[in-house]
Structure 1
């Protein structure tokens, strides 16, 4: 176990990082203004905490999620700690939460700053900057006359318009909390200008700071929003024939985590995304809402709804909070793609993974054989070659069967023996199209040539989707 820090590829910029075991169990979650520098600090000769050497030795990998700001990383860190309860996070296991702003469901809704929002309330947050959240509540009450949790109107506010007027002011306040803070900022800007003209510079400076607090609180809703009830945001990035897809999962208003997939991209984003999603949701329940980079078509939406057991809304958000969430997924996909490209191409990684599964040292050189005949005529064998996971087309060969061999087994034996006589290097694996009988027949042929044991041999029975291999 342990991590080779020289192979870590992390971006510069804010986000959270997760130390994990090989089974994906999270051991530690941290936040950083600069992910690359922060994670590298864990591998110095003088770590800043006693637990660091144990954490590093027990971890097998480091994952990350990029955020748009350090404050978003703070919120996401807290939520990931609460949901994963990592062993090495001792400071934040108390289950406490950051504060929310809530609008109650009373006939005349009340606004409050709280860590425990009441049921049926509309909520915004959580807010890592508690002071900014309190100030926003105060400003909304002062400018729109919203009642507090004790049902009191703000001191000095003159209510007009009756119940209908109050409902309109509540709607305006909710619009500010949804990120459309222009109306409140415009009012504050007018007050600041009036204060400046009246030479009340200290008051103008206080209002300027208020504007900054509103803008800051407004911007903290990318990793948390009341719109993220049960949705996955799909991000995609490609370069050449390589691609990366990232799925950010959000539940109950908070991003809970992400999954990444490396893939071979053939140019159509919708096709690549559909292919990965069909794999991702084959063994898990899709969310009620799926945010994608391009339309996927009705058939994919129907399949997702069948997998869920109820309707799944598949959409390409163009604006608002959901668009910000999907853009965040794109950003993470882009960074993971760069990271993987530096580590090596996808095909080579797939070949290495295959070698591990088969217990082989390498699969950098694979030769595959298949046979074909039409009504007993046009009997042809073909071999294809893969080098480091990529097709080596200049080494492809076809073989016309010269003997009167009546069946696939003897035709393949003839073709493989002709191939073997011309080789000056042996493959890491000889792969046959067939089953146990094909494997036995070719082993017998190579044994008669004195070549059995020179290289591994396997037979792939496509219909049964099974691989036959000795040992």
Structure 2
């Protein structure tokens, strides 16, 4: 039955001005966040049952109260809605998937700069940033091409400062090995400058410089060095001649949307500095009750809100809701004028058609993956006699070496596949000392009594044997959590295919080696094992490579990173002057003396 009393009782008290409203359910859980130009009118729409979808009717049956927030204008309402959705994650709002941050190419501000791929917040003063790219594959290919053309290093600063001989990249002619002085500092910096000019679209200028150097060394009969510059010119031309789907003269993003049922795919094609940076699909769930324009409006503000830098022009296929409000919202975010435009000429329409075709292909692939994963989940439901087909499966595993660097992990899977953003790792207390049962008890206790207690999975898979059954059962009973689970152990020879399963409600059993359920369970177990081993190694490496700088009072991460980035190694820092250390890390003379004394004592 639809519970609309919460709306009916307050309908006259709702203001007619613009703002944001929240549908709130049991235990004050926010079910939905929406914006409206007229709050009373918008909320009245929920009383017209015949116009509501089944999903909204289900939501209304859970609503206990409605709260409203008044805003000065529609732009404020839009920005507040986006912030609330991002922080509260209401289950009935449209959900953006695969919305990872755009990758950039970075060149470090180092004496011998490194080129690399980067995602995340900009680190002021540490890197030069180029991009954004919407395709990670495009970033990798561009970095590889620039490596070949200009022989740039990609190794970490730690490796660069500690190595005594060239690595494989040098022998593959991908790097000039500045780490062992195979190139002078001035020549390497010249190569870096040429790579930067290439990233800024100044290819012709760079090519002229390379041809001039090639001619110079050829005239001097230094044919070996002339051949190096000849190869650089060839690689540079290869970058220029890479087939592009289209070109566009200005910085711009093109959006197109394809829908099927409750799922939509929005394709984004980006151009920066006249270069095509590829296209990326974003998937939006729970959108059957929203028009295309409304979905695009929300996505645009979400995508560019304080994370991504929008271009001056954004092209969309059709008229979207309140275009001027979107432009104003983007201006408030970036303090730059952003135009949301329609494709009026053939070239722009062709670009949007290209984005549309790619989005359509991505949506079909996504739906196929959904179907295949659903079949696996249905099979798993039959094998373990689950009441429903599971939507969320959590798999647990532990890793340690002789009780050291102990870590427990949780991975999550569902109809979308592996939900890597929801993986968790748990650092285990050292006093447990490698007891797998106690480790599992701690992990499960922290999982179900911690911050994510409100999210209850449909099924648990534990990497363990019969001894783990009572541990898991005991933890769930104490915390009053009712979730079916199974423990999965390898057979007597610990080889894949002989796995045995243990549940509290049935006898030990096995599955056919090549059955769909067994292959899926092995996939889940292997992914949990991979994540556990990776987490364990990171913890071990972090412990083994603690810098002596970290132990000096007054030297935090920023100062430590500044010193290591500038000098390259602890040995170089220990040889530096007081004035150099003070200047680099911006510290007092007294602390600089302590740093030098500490490092030289250790040496």
TM-score (norm 2): 0.26
TM-score (norm 1): 0.32
Return the structure number with greater helix share: 2
Bigger Rg over Cα: 1
